[in-house]
Amino acid sequence: MHQSIRFSIRAKLFYGIVVPAAILMVVIYLDYANLSALGRSAETILAKNYKSIEAAYRMSQVLRVRQGFVLQSLVRTEGRHWGANQDAQELVKLLDICRNNITEVGEKEVLGKITDLLPRYEELFALYLQTWSTGTSWPKRKFQTLFDLQNRLSGNLDRLIVINEQAMERADLETRRLAAKAKSYSISLLVVAIFFVLGFSLILSRRISKPLVDLAQGLARVKKDGQEYPLFQVTSKDEIGFLTTEFNRLFERLREYDQSNLEILNAEKAKVRAAEQAKGRFIADLSHQLKTPMTSLSMSVGILAKKVRDDLPEKYITLLDTAQEDCSRLTALANELVDVSRMEAMARPRPKEKIDVEDLVAKCLKPLALQAEEKGVKLFTSVQEGLPKVAMDSFRFPWVITNLVGNALRYTAAGGRISLEIVRRVDSIVFTCQDTGTGIDPKYLPHVFDRYAQFSEREAMGTIGLGLAIVKEIIEQHGGDITVSSKPAQGTTFTFWIPIGSENGNA
């Protein structure tokens, strides 16, 4: 190291963590003491009273079941069954639970009354069961005695429940008081701890972050607006100071490197620029040189096929068909080479001018109409009347029409139909080009506008897949967008729109 580290960031961060941690440990301990007190209070509520309430409630349920049985047995003498001693032992066990858990004032007296009444009630109820099982009638006086004992037992059980519930309410109030006290105590401690930690952290963070911020701001200014590499001032004796020193050394080396390589970089840029220009000229010249002879060759082969086809042997007819197909592929390849040169020129902006849409479409479709007639495909055009003039690139936008209709003509067999509809919708002009051709497989639809996208139909035609990519780019430069829908063997529909006020488009 070229600089000694006196007080490292590790030590600063350690002290910055230890002090808040110690404060939090104190707060946690005090909260633990308060929570323990709350826990003991809650345990008191559950342990002292809950068992008695539960036992008394279950005894009341048993008595209600018995009372319901007696009342129904007076109406129905058959079809009911009562298990002998199915609840007598349960009542005794529940009463023992209550007697072993006497915790409140008045609870002992109530349990004494229940203890006195329960044997008499059990004896009388057992006698009733015996009489009921033999079908013997029971005196009305004994029914009154049985119900009276049961009501007195139920009343004492309700009293026992009330005593324990009141005790639980008192314990709950005590718990709430402790909780409120613990809450206010904890909040006070936390507020004090938070302010202390915030103050301590603010001071420590400023001492750590200021050199980093200065370094980051200096790095952000590196080579900005043509400035040279900066020289940072070393303000601390920690890792940040060491890092600042190393940056200064690095920038010094970069200055030397930039100086030694500036001429080399400029020379390389010049070579790349010259190569790009040469490539563009080569593609443009090649496509131009190919298109003229290929047009003548295609026309010659086509005329030859029409004139002498019937007089040639079968093997020569096959060769002639192959020649026609190869001419079509070469013509398509030449057109794609033109597309490449167009794609290279797309980045250069061009001015727009107000153009009549109907006149533009008529000029674009004039040569295509002849091709459609020769191929036996019907071409229809529908332009809404009264369309306003639209700001367009008169050099590039016709390519959109000719490419879309030309593609439709290429993939539509004789007897098919192609329609181009143009209407106004709100502030846009919408173009819809629909054909009844071979269509596009759904798996290819998301990629039809990608550059160099290859589908089976295009591969067969010898194209390299730039036409639709150029179409989309031209439409987007006019501020619009394009979509496609298609079904195999049913045709394809391209729909695109451009805003009427597209003067602001990115042409």
d(CA 303, CA 309): 10
The pLDDT value recorded for residue 461 is 46
Maximal CA-CA distance, the chain: 133
Which residue reads 């298109």 in tokens? Answer: 291
Say if CB 492 and CB 484 are below 8 A apart. yes
d(CA 241, CA 236): 5
d(CA 143, CA 147): 6
The pLDDT value recorded for residue 464 is 47
> pLDDT for 50-99, tens place per residue?
788 888 888 888 888 888 888 877 776 554 556 545 567 788 888 888 88
Q: At what angle do helices 9-45 and 140-220 cross, to 10 degrees?
A: 170
The pLDDT value recorded for residue 79 is 45
Q: Is 502 exposed, middle or buried (0-12, 13-18, 19+ CB in 10 A)?
A: buried
The pLDDT value recorded for residue 339 is 59
CA angle 169, 171, 176 (to 5 degrees): 95
Q: Is 394 exposed, middle or buried (0-12, 13-18, 19+ CB in 10 A)?
A: middle
| pLDDT beneath 70: ranges in the chain | 1-16, 19-20, 32, 34-48, 76-87, 208, 221-227, 236-238, 272-273, 275-292, 294-296, 298, 305, 307-310, 324-326, 328-329, 332-349, 452-465, 502-507
The pLDDT value recorded for residue 417 is 96
- The secondary structure of the chain in percent helix, strand, coil, rounded to multiples of 5, reads 70, 10, 20
Distances (CA, A) of 488 to 206, 436, 445: 68, 10, 11
d(CA 66, CA 72): 10
Q: Is 119 exposed, middle or buried (0-12, 13-18, 19+ CB in 10 A)?
A: exposed
The pLDDT value recorded for residue 183 is 75
φ, ψ at 318 (rounded to 5°) = -65, -45
Residues near 184 by beta carbon (within 8 Å), at least 6 away in sequence? none
d(CA 503, CA 488): 38
- What percent of the chain has a predicted confidence (pLDDT) above 70? 72
Say if CB 320 and CB 312 are below 8 A apart. yes
